[in-house]
Amino acid sequence: MKFRDDRKGVESAMPDTQNHEARRHPESEHFDHQAASDGIISVETTHWAGAALKGPHFDLFPDGQPQIEPQVSKGDKGTTLSAGALSATIHPDQHTFDIRFHSTDGSKALTSLLGRSVGLAYNPAPSNPMQTGDMRDFRHYIFTQTTLGIGESVHGLGERFGAFNKVGQSISLWNADGGTSSDQAYKNVSFWLSSRGYGIFIDTPGKVELEIGSERCSRVQTSVQGQRLKWYIIYGPTPKDVLRRYSVLTGKPSTVPSWSFGLWLSTSFTTNYDEATVNSFLEGMKERDTQVDVFHYDCFWMKAFTWTDFVFDSERFPDPKAQISRLKESGLVKKVCVWINPYIAQHGAAFKMAAEKGYLLKRKNGDVWQWDLWQAGMGLVDFTNPDAVKWYVDCLNGLFDQGVDCIKTDFGERVPTLDVEWFDKSVDAHKMHNYYAFIYNKVVYEALQARYGTSEAVLFARSACAGTQRFPLVWGGDCESTPEAMAESVRGGLGLGLCGYAFWSNDIGGFEGYPAPWIYKRWVAFGLLCSHSRLHGSSSYRVPWTIDNDDRSEEGCSRTLAKWTALKTRLMPYLYAQSAKAVENGWPLSLRAMCLEFPEDQTSWYLDRQFMIGDSLLAAPVFEESGEVEFYLPKGKWTSFFTNQIREGPGWFKEKHGFGSMPLYVRENTILVLGKPGIKGAVYDYAEDVEICLYQVHDGANAKLVDNQGNALGTLKIGSDGKLEGKELLGGSWTTSDNGRKVEESYLKTIQWL
Q: Annotated active-site positions, please? A: 410, 413, 478
Strand, coil or helix: what is 347?
coil
- Is the preceding peptide bond at 237 cis, omega within 30 degrees of 0? yes
Cβ(740)–Cβ(643) below 8 Å: no
Phi-psi domain of 419 (left: phi exceeds 0; alpha: psi -120 through 50; beta: other): left
Q: Residues, the chain, total?
A: 754
Cβ(171)–Cβ(202) below 8 Å: no
Cβ(526)–Cβ(561) below 8 Å: no
Measuring CA to CA, how many Å separate 17 from each of 23, 223, 668? 9, 12, 50
Query: How many C-beta atoms surround the C-beta of residue 378 within 10 A?
Result: 24
Write b or e for each residue in 451-460: b if 16 or more Cβ atoms lie within 10 A of its Cβ, otherwise e.
beeeebbbbb
Which of 107, 94, 110, 114 has its CA nearest to residue 11? 114
Amino acid at 253: P
- ∠582-586-592 over CA atoms, to 5°? 60
Strand, coil or helix: what is 612?
strand
Which of 279, 284, 286, 281 has its CA nearest to residue 323? 279
- ∠338-341-342 over CA atoms, to 5°? 140
CA distance 412 to 377: 16
Strand order in the sheet with 2-5: 2-5, 30-37, 40-46, 228-235, 198-202, 188-194, 154-158
Instruction: Find all residues with CB under 8 Å of 350, minimum gap 6, and list them.
Output: 308, 309, 310, 311, 344, 395
Which of 450, 586, 614 has its CA nearest to residue 529? 614
Amino acid at 534: R
CA distance 244 to 401: 38
Cβ(189)–Cβ(151) below 8 Å: no
Cβ(212)–Cβ(170) below 8 Å: yes
Tell me the longest C-alpha to C-alpha distance in the chain. 84
Side-chain-facing half-sphere of 436: CA atoms under 13 Å: 31
144 burial (CB, 10 Å; 0-12 / 13-18 / 19+) is: buried
Instruction: Find all residues with CB under 8 Å of 605, minimum gap 6, and list them.
Output: 153, 155, 165, 195, 595, 599
Amino acid at 458: V
CA distance 670 to 665: 11
Instruction: Find all residues with CB under 8 Å of 320, minimum gap 6, and list them.
Output: 301, 312, 402, 403
